[in-house]
Amino acid sequence: MKKLLPFLLLLFIGCSNNRQGKDEGQHKIIPDKKVVLEGLNHPWSIAFLTETDALISEKDGDLIRVDLNSKSRQILKGFPDDLTDSIRAIHFGDNSGIFEVLVDPEFEKNSWIYFSYAAKKEGQGTTTKVVRAKLAKDSLYDHQTLLEAAPFTKEYFHYGGGMVFGGDGKLYITIGERLFWERDEPEIPIAQDVTDKRGKIYRLNPDGSVPDDNPDFGHKAVPGVYAMGIRAAQGITVQPETNKIWFSEHGTIQGDEINLLKAGANYGWPNVTSGRLRSSDYTPPKLEGVSFTAPIWFWPHTVAPTGLTFYTGDEFPHWKNDLIVPGLSRGSLWRFHISEDTIKSVEELFIDDRIRIRKARQSPDGKLYLLTDEDNGKLIQIIPKNIKSQL
Amino acid sequence: MKKLLPFLLLLFIGCSNNRQGKDEGQHKIIPDKKVVLEGLNHPWSIAFLTETDALISEKDGDLIRVDLNSKSRQILKGFPDDLTDSIRAIHFGDNSGIFEVLVDPEFEKNSWIYFSYAAKKEGQGTTTKVVRAKLAKDSLYDHQTLLEAAPFTKEYFHYGGGMVFGGDGKLYITIGERLFWERDEPEIPIAQDVTDKRGKIYRLNPDGSVPDDNPDFGHKAVPGVYAMGIRAAQGITVQPETNKIWFSEHGTIQGDEINLLKAGANYGWPNVTSGRLRSSDYTPPKLEGVSFTAPIWFWPHTVAPTGLTFYTGDEFPHWKNDLIVPGLSRGSLWRFHISEDTIKSVEELFIDDRIRIRKARQSPDGKLYLLTDEDNGKLIQIIPKNIKSQL
């Protein structure tokens, strides 16, 4: 016992020093980038089956399954054969391709995965389509169409296609209005027309049926609509703790926004926008008895915000529960601190290291990843770097 | 001994738990505001004598000494009597008044304080003047003029007046070009004219004499000039560890910048600007053999950046060595993470709680304070708030 005492006392003193170390304060953590995969063909989305086994949708390529350790990749067999051929217009980027991929929250039990893409119909054109299928190894089977946003048109813009499972187990889907020029709007603008499938956000059961508790847009409305007045929204994500849903939207000339999703809301396009219209010769018709929901945030310049996500990992403690928003046009990455539905602070990261980013997504263990929109597209992990002095 | 053992073992177990707590990671710290003083008349600068004893310059009021505990304040007697009367123009804010106040790095020994202000000369107008005086309690004596940026003119804009002691013990001073309309520039623009005192940054010995190792602008140049091509710079500060000096500058229409100060540099005004000129009918003359130094950062919109400072305190570990930049026009507060003279990330704080801010400054113990540019001006302390869940 006596022999133990000095040892125990030393341990105690050692402990005290550690506690002092803890009280001395935290250290500065800086984000750095680590390329995990490359050679991805304009990747749009990633869905994790495990920490290292994931599905990646390549907008201009395939739906693939990757192993983040071995870097191996397999193209999934059985992708629907109505995926449009991607036609690169000379002056404008063709938005067509494969968009979101999600894994069912109960994938272990039911094997369902969900994906959105630009589907074609011969002689008519394309539109946004949402399908689910079961996944076994590298094969898809038992396909079910959940949503097809007819009409099929010759336009190849603004498909939307963002999808997320809400905290309520429902599937939320964004469908863009599918127009390039506002002057091509019909008399009642597409996104303002409850009988038109386009320009809407949907809330569906995982099997594509309509939940009983969806908002009521009237008997003429397209079934499943949850919100309207959407131009082109790709990013949609669930906020931790509140389960509120936030989505990003592209304006035409500026007008890029962050919105809070509310049942039955009308987000105003094209009647109101925080930016400007492309067609100076277009004036939206006056709509009676309509109230529009303003964005929580918009940028005064174009950033083209896309696949946003809330950060809940442990590697960046001071980012906890913040909203991470990637952008295409300026290669931006933003971090929003939100409290009570209000933006409190906004940080732009990697200012000197810009790259077109399509998606920010966490792995099951809370590691933060980005997908870049490039011919040689990359999966990049954001890793913490402790620094003492970085000047 | 046997009786002690369980106790020591419990302590050890307790310690282990604490160590686990430390390894569990850091917690999120959010900045909050605490008003320490109010009723300040458009305060411009604060200089700390101790943690709680400080001098505050009120642009539209007086040079005062305050006690941050008792909140008492005394107007310093003996302020120079050539302080201009502040004439509030009807449409534009009069920039005149008292600007910077600094305490000598060796104040304890020599009692010197330094201040800049808009001085008047009867029948001529105003200009920027820098004076030092000794301080005893609430009285100034032994005044010495260090710099007077003649000519005195009828213009009441763009005095500059920002000052800081460098790591080299020298006094750095910004003097604005004193014009409102670019079309009023003389043939050689003021800031480009080495024989003109205005539109320059100076480096002087504390007694106002010129250091031997200043850059050489030629024999015609105004003594003490360190850099030129300055329109209107108020904020100037020293970077920890590197001792590099950074300053903010106001552009005309946009063109607000953060610059890195370099000996002999020409910051380009009015020949180059990241914004636009006010006078569409003015074209700067072509200058031969001149090379301009670009800003490290500029904003695409007006923020009116002013009294910036580097943060070296312990309350916000993840802000360590970052540059804090307040702005007037949009009530902004920015935090720049800089590494190797490059902006890596930029965060805008207090997005939903904007107030015109003139100065950010640390107390000797590293607490962060702001001065607001208001009739009921405030000294605000930025305090850390630990949060578990803030949604």
Taking only the tens place, the pLDDT of each residue in B316-334 is 999 999 999 999 999 999 9
Return d(Cα B199, Cα B178) in angstroms, integer.
7
**For residue A15, pLDDT beyond 80:** no
Task: Name chain A contacts of B28, Cβ cutoff 8 Å.
Answer: 317-321
Give the pLDDT of residue B255.
Answer: 85
Question: How does residue A2 score in pLDDT terms, banded at 50, 70 and 90?
Answer: low
Return d(Cα A200, Cα A130) in angstroms, integer.
14
**For residue B89, pLDDT beyond 70:** no
- The reply to whether A10 touches chain B by the CB within 8 Å rule is no
The verdict on a CB contact (< 8 Å) between B345 and A351 is yes
**For residue B268, pLDDT beyond 90:** yes
Return d(Cα A314, Cα B363) in angstroms, integer.
32
Task: Name chain B contacts of A14, Cβ cutoff 8 Å.
Answer: 15
Give the pLDDT of residue A254.
Answer: 85
Q: Which amino acid is at B189?
A: P
Return d(Cα A348, Cα B244) in angstroms, integer.
24
User: To the nearest whole number, what is the mean pLDDT of chain B?
Assistant: 91
pTM: 0.87
Give the pLDDT of residue A85.
Answer: 80
**For residue A18, pLDDT beyond 50:** no
Q: Residue for token digits 């809407």? A: A200
**For residue B137, pLDDT beyond 50:** yes
Low-confidence winner among A12-26, A160-174, B199-213, B356-370 (lowest mean pLDDT): A12-26
Of B8, B320, B351, the CB nearest to A344: B351
Question: How does residue A91 score in pLDDT terms, banded at 50, 70 and 90?
Answer: very low
Q: Residue for token digits 């607490």? A: B367
**For residue B342, pLDDT beyond 90:** yes
Return d(Cα A201, Cα A189) in angstroms, integer.
16
Of A16, A301, A352, the CB nearest to B300: A301
Task: Name chain A contacts of B391, Cβ cutoff 8 Å.
Answer: 239-242, 321, 338-340
Low-confidence winner among A240-244, A358-362, B91-95 (lowest mean pLDDT): B91-95
Give the pLDDT of residue A353.
Answer: 95
Return d(Cα A301, Cα A238) in angstroms, integer.
26
Q: Which residue of A has its CA nearest to B347?
A: A347
Q: Which of B344, B364, B358 is nearest to B307 (CA)?
A: B358
**For residue B252, pLDDT beyond 80:** yes
For residues B79-105, b (16+ Cβ closer than 10 Å) or e, as one string?
bbebbbebeeeeeeebbbbbbbbbbbe
Return d(Cα B230, Cα B196) in angstroms, integer.
12
Which CATH code is given to the segment(s) B5-386? 2.120.10.30
Give the pLDDT of residue B90.
Answer: 41
Give the pLDDT of residue B275.
Answer: 87
Would you list the DSSP string of B40-81? ESSEEEEEESSSSEEEEEETTS-EEEEETTT--EEEPBT--T
Give the mean pLDDT of B266-294.
91
Q: Is residue A328 classed exposed, middle or buried when 0-12, 13-18 and 19+ CB atoms within 10 A define those classes?
A: buried
Task: Name chain A contacts of B321, Cβ cutoff 8 Å.
Answer: 28, 389-391
Shortest CA gap A224–chain B (Å): 29
Residues 167-226 of chain B with CB under 8 A from chain A are none
Give the pLDDT of residue A367.
Answer: 98
Give the pLDDT of residue B279.
Answer: 87
**For residue B213, pLDDT beyond 60:** yes
Percent of chain B with pLDDT over 90: 79
The two structure tokens encoding residue A208: 């594509």
Give the pLDDT of residue A89.
Answer: 46
Q: Residue for token digits 């732009």? A: A348
Q: Which residue of B has its CA nearest to A349?
A: B345
- Complex ipTM over 0.85: no
Give the mean pLDDT of A201-224.
97
Give the pLDDT of residue A24.
Answer: 44
Shortest CA gap B184–chain A (Å): 32
The number of angstroms, rounded, from the C-alpha of A26 to the middle of its chain's C-alpha atoms is 32
Better pLDDT: A11 or A129: A129
Of B1, B12, B19, the CB nearest to A1: B1
Give the pLDDT of residue A260.
Answer: 98
Of A2, A25, A239, the CB nearest to B314: A25
Give the pLDDT of residue A74.
Answer: 98
Tens-place pLDDT, residues A279-327: 888 999 999 889 999 999 999 888 899 999 999 999 999 999 999 999 9
Q: Residue for token digits 């009367």? A: B85
**For residue B24, pLDDT beyond 50:** no
- The reply to whether A335 touches chain B by the CB within 8 Å rule is yes
Residues 341-370 of chain B with CB under 8 A from chain A are 342-352
